[in-house]
Chains A and B, each alone.
Chain A
């Protein structure tokens, strides 16, 4: 008995940290599997192993499979990962800066603004992006989403603005843009209306490598910035005042994170429409698994968001053969029961 030494508190802390690192690795391994399944599902079904082989060694599989995997399905699958990760990160940051686990990237009206911008482009042909072309609608959605964020920025700069007023302004913007959107829909033709509604449902079908490159570039910009601030963000979860007494520049940090969230949410919405739920639930799952230490919370939120969207993309193709449902419908429809079962089954002890 005597030689079974009880590890010290510090040793137990180190073990916990190690376990959390494994969680991060596990989450990304699960993501790779989810992507392989996603690519395998479609008019022709392939096993994850075949897909993985086609991805890693394209020369060793039959050309038809390589073409389907690389040219047809990979862009959509990678787009799902990018958008899922972007929404996961943005959701995690939003929940942290608002001290509210019910917040998501769209809490402050960014998606409504994007939808309005897109509708304006579709129905009226009015765009703020002079070049137009393939990015005409997306650019308009992006500009409106970012404009909304600038309004929110202006509010944070005012003295004595609390988080509550901030959220209220966001909600006011949300309703304003929804009303404007309804106004446009009311005045649109039938075909325009159809296009607007389809756009708003959210779809990965518009995935291209250019868009993927833009998303990847954005993540490459935002993630290192967020990573450099991980201790500050962790401190912020304890509350503004306690973070400030540890030397965290709370107002500036909140502004920086808001900028990051705006870019991520605006880009995601501009490219694939409004995909709800992911930015709310991704961080929730991460919080249950690894807690709110941002070193683990952030990557697991990103991975969870990406996995949810990959799974939703798989189901969107798999439910009815030959039909690809808009992914915005699937995420909530399938995600909610999954999430509820997770909430019920996970015990508190596991989110250490």
Chain B
């Protein structure tokens, strides 16, 4: 039971991005970090998997079903993309925004369970106190937490997180990644997070995918990928890792 990306091709006009991208199956219950330098196609890959972009070739299948054959609505129920930009100017309340992930498109009122679920997730992310505020009043980090809450409430089979911690403070980063890890295991879903903080990624991810030159260049455990020469080359830096006395993976990078 997994997400399978095979032979994926895609490009923007005058700018080919992927030509036959292939990844070993992304398994349920596994938190994968998608890493790679800026502009390598992490967000585009997410959009392709979520169906926001259509590939020019190749297939993406979820539990054996081709996602291109699913209806847009069905696909959006099973695969959710937390977009990189979470700032919004919508005149909506925090609770309304999170609940939107639950409301069916045919209108109608939210059920008791849905409201309870939203409450639960607001508490899990420690943003319950923001629930009466307008999203436009919130800081960038708070807006990101609200978007994350929406993603978790959505309860998809595949959770794609595009830099989910980019605007968060130190404690929030750890809390969010821990929660994402827990949710991935407990709900047995496929979670892929694009992360630039390799220490944070190394600490919570089960697996690393390094994207480089339109393909998955290295695939393996955090240590394997971090120590691989291609990773250092892709970023153009030197990378060293060590374990602290508490067993935490620390990634040190330097310009070479």
Q: Contact residues of A with B, CB < 8 Å? A: 8-10, 12-14, 16, 99, 160, 227-232, 234-235, 237-239, 241-242, 244-249, 287, 291-293, 295, 348, 351-352
Bound form: Cα–Cα A229–B108 in Å: 11
Name the residue in A99, A237, A348 with the highest tally of chain B Cβ atoms < 10 Å from its Cβ. Answer: A237
A237 touches B90 (CB 8 A): yes
Chain A residues near B107 (CB, 8 Å)?
A: 227-228, 230-231, 295
> Which of B75, B81, B89, B93 is within 8 Å of A16, CB to CB?
B93
A352 touches B134 (CB 8 A): yes
A234 touches B115 (CB 8 A): no
Interchain nearest-CB distance for A322 vs B (Å): 44
Bound form: Cα–Cα A352–B93 in Å: 7
- 27 A-B interface contacts by CB (under 8 A): A8-B119, A9-B132, A12-B95, A12-B132, A13-B95, A14-B115, A16-B132, A99-B89, A228-B106, A231-B104, A231-B107, A234-B100, A237-B88, A237-B92, A241-B52, A242-B83, A245-B52, A246-B80, A247-B72, A247-B73, A248-B105, A287-B91, A291-B91, A291-B92, A291-B134, A348-B137, A352-B134
A348 touches B88 (CB 8 A): no
Interchain nearest-CB distance for B44 vs A (Å): 12
Chain B residues near A352 (CB, 8 Å)?
A: 93, 132, 134
Chain B residues near A293 (CB, 8 Å)?
A: 92-93, 96
Chain B residues near A230 (CB, 8 Å)?
A: 107
For chain B, the count of residues having a C-beta within 8 Å of the partner chain is 43
User: Which of chain A's residues has its CB closest to B90's CB?
Assistant: A237
Let me know if B99 is at the binding interface, CB within 8 A: yes
Q: Contact residues of B with A, CB < 8 Å? A: 13, 50, 52, 72-73, 75-77, 80-83, 85-86, 88-93, 95-97, 99-101, 103-107, 115-116, 118-119, 122, 128, 131-132, 134, 137, 147, 154
Bound form: Cα–Cα A237–B91 in Å: 8
User: Which of chain A's residues has its CB closest to B134's CB?
Assistant: A352
> Which of A10, A13, A14, A238 is within 8 Å of B88, CB to CB?
A238
B97 touches A238 (CB 8 A): yes
Name the residue in B50, B91, B103, B147 with the highest tally of chain A Cβ atoms < 10 Å from its Cβ. Answer: B91
A238 touches B77 (CB 8 A): no
Name the residue in A160, A245, A246 with the highest tally of chain B Cβ atoms < 10 Å from its Cβ. Answer: A245
Interchain nearest-CB distance for B196 vs A (Å): 20
> Which of A227, A235, A351 is within 8 Å of B100, CB to CB?
A235
B72 touches A249 (CB 8 A): yes
B105 touches A231 (CB 8 A): yes
A245 touches B118 (CB 8 A): no
Chain B residues near A292 (CB, 8 Å)?
A: 90-92
A13 touches B105 (CB 8 A): no
Chain A residues near B97 (CB, 8 Å)?
A: 238
User: Which of chain B's residues has its CB closest to A294's CB?
Assistant: B107
A241 touches B132 (CB 8 A): no
